[in-house]
Structure 1
Amino acid sequence: MTPSASILISGVSGWLSGARAAENANGPADAIARQNMLQLIHLRWIAVAGQVVTILAVHFSLGFKLPLVEMMLVLAALVALNLFSLLRLKRAEPLGPYDLFTALALDALALTIQLYFSGGATNPFTTLYLLHVILGAVLLEAWATWAIVALISFCFVGLIAFNRPIVASGLSDQAFFELFIMGMLIGVVLDALLLVTFVGRINANLRGHDARLAELRQRAAEETHIIRMGLLASGAAHELGTPLATLDVILGDWRRMPLFNANPELAQELEDMRGEVRRCKSIVTGVLQSAGEARSGEVRASTLRGFMDEVIGEWRTTRNDPNLIYETDLLDATPIVAESTLKQGVHNVLDNALEAAATTVRFRASVRGGWVLIEVEDDGPGFAASALEDFGKPYNSTKGRVGGGLGLFLVVNVLRKLGGSAQASNPPEGGARVVMQLPLSALEITRNG
């Protein structure tokens, strides 16, 4: 089989099964409705296949004379209904409140027509009506469920009054009764199997919907928390700007005083103080840039290798050159936007490694398959089990500090905003490892023309 033929068959198979028919959902509620419609479509395929086998077996093997042409036309109509339903799912228009009701009602009418041609109310497969009632109770609103009950009741009463009796040649009354009991048994077992299967799937869809909503609520709460932290940080940065500028001016005046010029030790301490003030001003500027409040230079271009070198260089300078092993196979040729929040996130991870009583911290940066991979390892005691379980949640810290545990929380959210993720683990050889990954396209500068 050629690859193109294989792709065509796979596409037709996926289309007929409805595996990709729910991709155009408009929100979580519409996604659930589409998944439930898919369950009805799958159930209808099973019904068509089962009826074909049953009708042919009863007609040719058991001696019952059935109107094959009429009954096969009903099955053809069910197939056409399924194909129409799949086309409906492929449209972007959301499913309305009447779509599932209409689908169940048409299935009930099709079953009624088949029963009409095969004995009416005396057909043992009338138990399949219960399947429609229970599915209606699970899938539909109250009014629609009662409408299905009314429809099925009307259809059953109609089958009592009108039907085409089936003729069995060569069967005694006892043999006919035994076949009737066997048909009832098959109908009840079939009801039970289908209900367990499809109601279970529908409940799984609902549980998945609830889990998704819970995840979205959690993410919204985390983002609200981050916004509040950002506002507090931005406000603090504004408030700190004036006293830091005042300190810088005062220290500059002191540097020209004879007392400090005459004492080299005091002069050196004064320069150290000025250096720390400049560092604080740089941090404040970085906070304002991250909040989008810098007056100039909000977007700064760099290269991926240059950005990583800058991240490590700044961290080494401000942490008294710790024992950090820096490994990378990055090239300078990839132009990117120097994302200050990503830099701060990497600094947070490195700070955590340094504070974990580690003697050596290893940093690796690489690009694999369009993803930027950043690995930070240390030879400390590793993460506690509770820290691994709640990795990335706010205030998940074992350091005992008030407000601790926000560093990794911010890292996870920064990466998530960039389309990436972070995972933590304890390697078998000891220590701790944090792997950060994000798509290169989130940073890369695309050149037009």
Structure 2
Amino acid sequence: MCEARSACGSGEKLCHNRPMAVTEDLPPEAEPRRESVSPVPSPRRPAPPTLEEIAGRLQSRGGVRLRSLVLIRWIAVAGQAFTAGVVTWGLAFSYPVIPVAAAIALSAALNLGFELSQPGATRLNDRETAVFLGFDTLQLTFLLFFTGGISNPFSLLMLAPVAIAGSTLGVRSVVVLSALSTLCAGFVAVFHFPLPWDGPPPELPPIYMVAIWASLTLSIILIAVYTWRVAEEARQMGDALAAASAALAHEQRMASLGALAAAAAHELGSPLSTISLVAREMQREVEHDDPLKPDVELLVEQSERCRTILARLTVDPTIDVSEAYSVVSVPTLVEAAADPWDDGTVEIAYLQMQAAADAPDAPPVMVRGPEFLQGIGNLVHNATGFARQRVTVTTRWTRDWVEVEVADDGPGFPEMLLDELGSPFVSTRAGSHGHMGLGTFIAKTLLERTGAAVQFGNQPTPEGGGARVTVRWRNPVFRDT
């Protein structure tokens, strides 16, 4: 048999004008290995990454750019030098000039050393930034010690390092710097040189000095707590949005893979049809006792197997984003979103029903998008983590709205958290076993991008409650419209 084909009209025929090799002469180890053809499993959409995996991909926040700290210190050095010059030569007040000038010069020298030895874009970590700001606190305390202590109007500058620390550093560094500033304020309140003055310095009542120290100490604590809290909420929101973006990017990559699979199946269809046609012609031409008959049959079986695989790639809406499946019924999209989390540990039941007598019989349709799949998938994932035995995903619709409800038979949401659910880092499991408290936030954020309204609540069950999340879209679209 030969592999060349001669055209006769529009048909193709196999020719037998060349002798063939005999497979019986081959040693046993050279025999072609034939594997049994196993049923082709249905393609399954891979499970999206967990939120812990997404968090591990996020860059850890930390520290401040060295250039920013150096610039702030240069401003402080310039202000200190200007004030010392005005007091010395402008007002002619008497105070220890040499120690003050030495402290200012030391701060300037360190700043110059940082600029020459480190690139300005260098980011200091949390500890290095705390040391940097701690030196500024001690340097200011040294200046106040020689210039009147907390009776000096410039003692308010002790709040500056604490404010910077609260807005950029972690809670431990903020606590340490706040404690250092408080101790320094107490030290210069008791031990200090007289306030530079024209003649004898004013004698302030002791109770007034205690009041100044108390107000300075309370201001340090208040500013530290306030700035840290506001900055921490901003950092948490940034991290949560980064995690949501990472989850959405993963879903978009999966959609791109589905499109690539559909395109590959379409492009491979024509050559595979030719291979299948030739294989069947070979099967008809080969004699029953021909040694190549098993090989030809295997070729036919494998070509059919390839056709089955390509057919599944083009008709499975859970992995295909071709034009035919760009608009899918909402129940189908819900099953596609929940399927990756159906690992058999908890039963996931799907229900669909009309919520009004005049509602269309067929369910509404929606554009298949990564926001929908990732958002509903996160809700189902959270429900399976708390459910005892069953998670029910119900799709309801009327002419005015379509609703997807994810309910479980678990303990339900704590009443104290119902108003805060959907905010970042709010969860009954946050901080335990790597849980970040981002599941509901990511789901709510992504689903709201599609125009949905998300509500969290509990439902009564015989076991004593269960969580229920309702997602509703206005103005549904039906195929007949």
Give TM-score scaled by structure 1 length. 0.39
Higher relative contact order (CA 8 A, sep 6+): 2
Structure label with greater radius of gyration: 2
Bigger helix share = 1
